[in-house]
């Protein structure tokens, strides 16, 4: 079906059938991830983990993000993106169930949480290349940023709804552990439903299929074949994510323990844990409001300024948060500001996948994230060591590293537009 034949809604969001299914799956899994993932460091702390263990958990997440996308991208290119995403969804559902069951494991509870992460991240990380490749195959090259913005909006709606649902459940229950297990069970149910929907609704009859990986040399060749346009972006992105990785898993602890800020206004009183969910929802509301307009601007003016804006917000947020006064409205303003970092994500994704050849979008994406995420694996451990000594030092150091990446990108990054980013795609 051509874009002219599509309904006005489909024309607006630039989606064909499989991308519509992908968008629905993005909403479901994002709902599950966001209502659970940002609270898991707190879950670990309640189960007896210290800052060092929380940092190790964050580093394992980075390692998974590094290792999973490349083989996931290769598999998606080999068997088709839609089939791969259905498989990864089933594995993720098992991960949510493992998190729910962790307290029953007694002394092994923390280990079960770590093992659950290996499964729960499958759709998000194994499936990263598949999602990129599916969008690339369905959207005109000069509208990639807008196409990614369309799917990203569905994802961010899940990010908005998830924390609010978690906040409501935690406000309803008096005990964090009991309340959060209810949240985890809801996440598992949503993941199962999304997996079944993918299996039933995807149309895999006309997907481009690439080659399978045959040796380690294939990995090296794919890394060497990364388009030259990606290199300044990759260096800057790695520095920004290194800084973000030092702080990310500890943000919930800064709000609920270090600042210990709840909410009390207009007759509503929330614990710090419930208020944190509201703050995440505020962040996502700003992201949703800004993403489509900014992506349209990127299509017209070029991708670099938009990507640089997102990087800059990543960079300054940690230091602003840790030195903020313990005031509920200051935190609302800070998390609203943090939402602007997501405005640059569609342009960022367009820069990554735009130069890739047809049938190789998964491999290019996987190779890019393999490099970036391998380098950033130690960041949460370093952040944990610093956080155990002084949270202010940890978050200030995180901002310093990330802002170095912003400066590098501004100086060395080329000014691309959407059409130029897609020029390498036949």
Of 31-40, 255-264, 364-373, 415-424, give the lowest mean pLDDT range. Answer: 415-424
In whole angstroms, what is the distance from residue 166 CA to residue 152 CA?
21
| 228-242 pLDDT per residue, tens | 777 888 899 999 999
Looking only at the bridges linking them, the beta strands covering 263-265 and 268-270 are: antiparallel
Other Cβ atoms within 10 Å of 276 Cβ, number: 29
User: 25 pLDDT band (50/70/90 cuts)?
Assistant: confident
In whole angstroms, what is the distance from residue 158 CA to residue 262 CA?
23
Q: Name the percent of the chain lying above pLDDT 90.
A: 47
In whole angstroms, what is the distance from residue 307 CA to residue 208 CA?
29
Q: What does the pLDDT read at residue 420?
A: 46
Q: State the average pLDDT over residues 173-198.
A: 92
In whole angstroms, what is the distance from residue 130 CA to residue 199 CA?
15
Q: State the average pLDDT over residues 293-311.
A: 80
Of residues 284, 287, 288, the one with CA closest to residue 276: 284
Across the chain, mean pLDDT equals: 82
Residue 59 CA to its chain's centroid (Å): 15
User: 243 pLDDT band (50/70/90 cuts)?
Assistant: very high
Q: What does the pLDDT read at residue 266?
A: 84
Q: How many helices (H) and strands (E) does the chain have?
A: 21, 2
In whole angstroms, what is the distance from residue 116 CA to residue 98 CA?
5
Q: What does the pLDDT read at residue 160?
A: 87
**pLDDT for residue 421 is more than 80:** no
The domain ranges of the chain are: 17-200+228-421
Of residues 308, 320, 309, 262, the one with CA closest to residue 286: 309
- CB of 125 closer than 8 Å to CB of 72: yes
Q: Which residue has the tokens 């994230």?
A: 369
Q: What does the pLDDT read at residue 219?
A: 64
243 three-state secondary structure: helix
- CB of 228 closer than 8 Å to CB of 364: no
Q: State the average pLDDT over residues 393-408.
A: 97
Q: What does the pLDDT read at residue 135?
A: 67
Higher-pLDDT residue of 298, 406: 406
Strands (DSSP E) contained in 4-98 are none
| 54-102 pLDDT per residue, tens | 999 999 998 887 788 778 777 877 777 778 888 889 999 999 999 999 9
In whole angstroms, what is the distance from residue 153 CA to residue 246 CA?
27
User: 413 pLDDT band (50/70/90 cuts)?
Assistant: confident
User: 10 pLDDT band (50/70/90 cuts)?
Assistant: very low
| Residue 270, phi then psi, degrees to nearest 5 | -125, 145
User: 7 pLDDT band (50/70/90 cuts)?
Assistant: very low
Q: Which residue has the tokens 């990129």?
A: 132
Of 110-124, 208-222, 250-264, give the lowest mean pLDDT range. Answer: 208-222
Q: Which two tokens stand for residue 58?
A: 């964050």
Q: What does the pLDDT read at residue 207?
A: 53
Of residues 170, 197, 198, 196, the one with CA closest to residue 184: 170
Which helix (H) or strand (E) covers residue 263, if one does? strand 263-265
HSE toward the beta carbon, residue 242, CA cutoff 13 A: 21
CATH topology of domain 17-200+228-421: Growth Hormone; Chain: A; (1.20.1250)
Which helix (H) or strand (E) covers residue 264, if one does? strand 263-265
Q: What does the pLDDT read at residue 304?
A: 81
Question: CA geometry: angle at 417 spanning 416 and 420, to 5°?
Answer: 85
How far are the Cα atoms of 63, 95, 159, 361 from residue 32, in angstroms, in the given order?
Answer: 21, 11, 9, 26
Q: State the average pLDDT over residues 291-301.
A: 74
In whole angstroms, what is the distance from residue 225 CA to residue 219 CA?
10
Q: Which residue has the tokens 């002219």?
A: 4
User: 426 pLDDT band (50/70/90 cuts)?
Assistant: very low
Q: What does the pLDDT read at residue 181?
A: 95
Q: 76-104: buried (b, 16+ CB within 10 Å) or exposed (e) per residue?
A: bbbbbbbbbbbbbbbbbbbbbbbbbbbbe
Q: State the average pLDDT over residues 411-426.
A: 55
Q: Which two tokens stand for residue 6?
A: 């599509």
270 three-state secondary structure: strand
Higher-pLDDT residue of 149, 173: 173
In whole angstroms, what is the distance from residue 128 CA to residue 183 CA?
25
**pLDDT for residue 9 is more than 50:** no
């Amino acid at each position: 079906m051509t874009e002219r034949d599509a309904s006005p809604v489909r024309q607006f969001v630039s989606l064909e059938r499989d991308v519509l299914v992908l968008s629905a799956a993005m909403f479901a899994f994002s709902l599950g991830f966001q209502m659970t993932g940002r609270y898991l460091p707190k879950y670990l702390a309640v189960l007896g983990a210290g800052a060092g263990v929380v940092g190790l958990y964050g580093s394992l997440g980075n390692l998974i993000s590094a290792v999973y996308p490349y083989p996931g991208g290769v598999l998606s290119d080999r068997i088709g993106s839609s089939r791969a995403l259905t498989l990864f969804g089933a594995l993720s559902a098992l991960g949510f169930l493992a998190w729910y069951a962790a307290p029953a494991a007694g002394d092994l509870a923390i280990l079960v949480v770590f093992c659950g992460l290996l499964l729960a991240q499958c759709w998000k990380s194994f499936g990263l290349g598949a999602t990129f490749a599916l969008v690339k195959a369905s959207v005109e090259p000069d509208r990639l940023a807008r196409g990614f913005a369309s799917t990203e909006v569905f994802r961010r709606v899940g990010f908005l709804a998830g924390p609010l649902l978690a906040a409501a459940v935690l406000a309803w229950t008096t005990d964090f552990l009991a309340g959060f297990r209810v949240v985890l069970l809801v996440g598992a149910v949503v993941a199962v439903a999304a997996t079944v929907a993918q299996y039933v609704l995807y149309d895999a009859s006309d997907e481009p299929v690439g080659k399978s990986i045959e040796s380690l040399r294939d990995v090296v060749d794919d890394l060497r074949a990364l388009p030259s346009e990606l290199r300044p972006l990759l260096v800057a992105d790695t520095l920004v994510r290194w800084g973000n990785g030092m702080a990310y898993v500890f943000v919930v602890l800064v709000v609920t323990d270090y600042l210990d800020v709840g909410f009390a206004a207009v007759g509503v009183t929330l614990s710090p844990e419930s208020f944190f969910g509201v703050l995440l929802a505020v962040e996502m509301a700003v992201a949703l409001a800004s993403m489509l307009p900014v992506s349209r601007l990127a299509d017209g003016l070029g991708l670099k300024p938009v990507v640089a804006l997102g990087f800059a917000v990543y960079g300054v947020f940690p230091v602003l948060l840790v030195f903020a006064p313990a005031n509920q409205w200051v935190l609302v303003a800070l998390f609203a500001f943090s939402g602007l970092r997501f405005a640059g994500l569609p342009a960022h994704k367009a820069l990554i996948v735009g130069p890739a050849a047809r049938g190789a979008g998964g491999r290019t994406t996987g190779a890019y994230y393999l490099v970036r995420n391998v380098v950033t694996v130690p960041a949460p451990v370093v952040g944990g060591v610093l956080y155990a000594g002084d949270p202010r030092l940890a978050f200030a150091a995180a901002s310093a590293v990330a802002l170095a990446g912003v400066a590098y990108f501004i100086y060395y990054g080329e000014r691309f537009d959407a059409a130029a980013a897609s020029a390498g795609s036949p």
